[in-house]
Amino acid sequence: QVQLVESGGGWVHPGGSLTLSCAISENISTFDVVGWYRQSAGKQREVVAHLIKGGATAYLESVKGRFTVSKDTEKSMVLLQMNNVIPEDTAVYYCNARRMSPMENYWGQGTQVTVSS
């Protein structure tokens, strides 16, 4: 069973920065898509950023220009650099890894990010 373990969440001031990390127990290169989702209180889980095999990235409109998704192939990790955070970024952030054929979808346990003064 593939395991994803997030770290790096916590409390940060508005305008501050935070880096989330996700360690994947299998070779990250075997996944077609890796990335981050988030879920805030009373809302549905939403995709924050994807990194697609081949190098393409996709971002939630509200985080474009502030967040950057990347991967460390050697360490089999996916990262989310969060800059200039705002209170609306407060949520539980989940790491996700997917293979398309056959479909396999894996989640981490989530890490809380709180943006507040």
Phi, psi values for residue 98, rounded to 5°? -135, 140
- Residue 55 gets which letter from DSSP? S
**How many CB atoms within 10 Å of residue 91?**
22
Map residue 88 onto helix, strand or coil. Answer: helix
In the predicted structure, residue 108 carries a pLDDT above the cut 90: yes
* pLDDT recorded at residue 41: 92
Rg (CA), the chain: 14
* pLDDT recorded at residue 54: 86
The string of pLDDT tens digits covering residues 18-76 is 999 999 999 999 999 999 999 999 999 999 999 999 889 999 999 999 999 999 999 99
